[in-house]
Amino acid sequence: MPHPLAKLIALLLMLWPVMASPVSHPAWLLSVGLFLLLLSRLKPPFKLLLALWFKLRWLLLGVALLHLLLTPGEPLLPGLPEQMSKQGLLHGLDRVIRLLLLSGYAWLFNQTTTAAETLNALRCLAPKRGPLSQPMGRFFDLLGFTLLAAPRMLATGRELDETLAARVQRVRGGRMQTLFWGWYQRADVLLNRLLSDLPRHEEALIARGWQDGLPKQTVERVVWRMKEWGVVSLPFGLVVLGVVL
């Protein structure tokens, strides 16, 4: 597998042909073809991508409506308000398609790269010396902890609320008894969850730079081999194609 830094640079390079090139431009069409090729080669769970796009429905609808109402041009239909223009509809659909493609690329990156690898790639971009090295290191430590621990913490909170709701319903007694029983159950569920999540928390601490009680840097030197250059070269070629043509 190529280094995650190469995949991150490739993802950033794809911003230009996806968001800046016209839809009919060869660079944009090739970016769509590359996305479909990656889907066929990697074979990720496509239902998760559809679920992501479904979660973005209100954002996409808002973008389409803003372009529809704020872009001047010919009226869309005779009976509709003059603010709704044909050009606004086309511009809105154009932006929606671009956002779908861009989120698809980001989703593929997330499916093929772990949180620890993403953190390592970001730390490789940070300065190793100078006045910004220490604050940037702290920032990436916090970011690494968030990437590794926050999703699980949110899931734990939801499971905790569901478990407590099911247990409290079975309690019979006064208000104070129910209150104390609820806090007891909350502590019991939380303690069991923490004990079961110790390996994951240990992974988060290692990613933050701590191992065996001593601070340890997780940044490794990137060796650019054929895999890394191959991952970066195709998006770079699309950027050059979008600039030249």
Residues 37-64 have pLDDT tens digits of 888 888 878 888 899 899 999 999 999 9
Q: Is the Cβ–Cβ distance between 27 and 21 less than 8 Å?
A: yes
Q: What is the per-residue pLDDT across 79-121, written as a single tens digit (0 to 9) for each? A: 777 778 888 888 999 999 999 999 999 998 888 887 777 777 7
C-alpha closest to that of 95 among 122, 73, 66: 66
Say what the pLDDT of residue 197 is. Answer: 65
Per-residue exposure over 108-143, b if at least 16 CB sit within 10 Å of its own CB, e if not: bbeeebebbbbbbbbbbeeeeeeeeeeebbeebbeb
User: Confidence class of residue 217 from pLDDT cuts 50, 70 and 90?
Assistant: very low
Indicate the pTM of the whole model: 0.68
Of residues 168 and 95, which shows the higher confidence score? 95
The residue extents of the domains of the chain are 1-126+220-245, 133-218
Radius of gyration of the chain (CA): 24
C-alpha closest to that of 153 among 183, 193, 119, 118: 193
Residue 174 has pLDDT above 60, yes or no: no
Partner residues linked to 121 by β-bridges: none
Q: Which of 19-28, 99-108, 183-192 has maximum average pLDDT?
A: 99-108
Percentage with pLDDT > 70 across the chain: 70
Q: Is the Cβ–Cβ distance between 71 and 83 less than 8 Å?
A: no
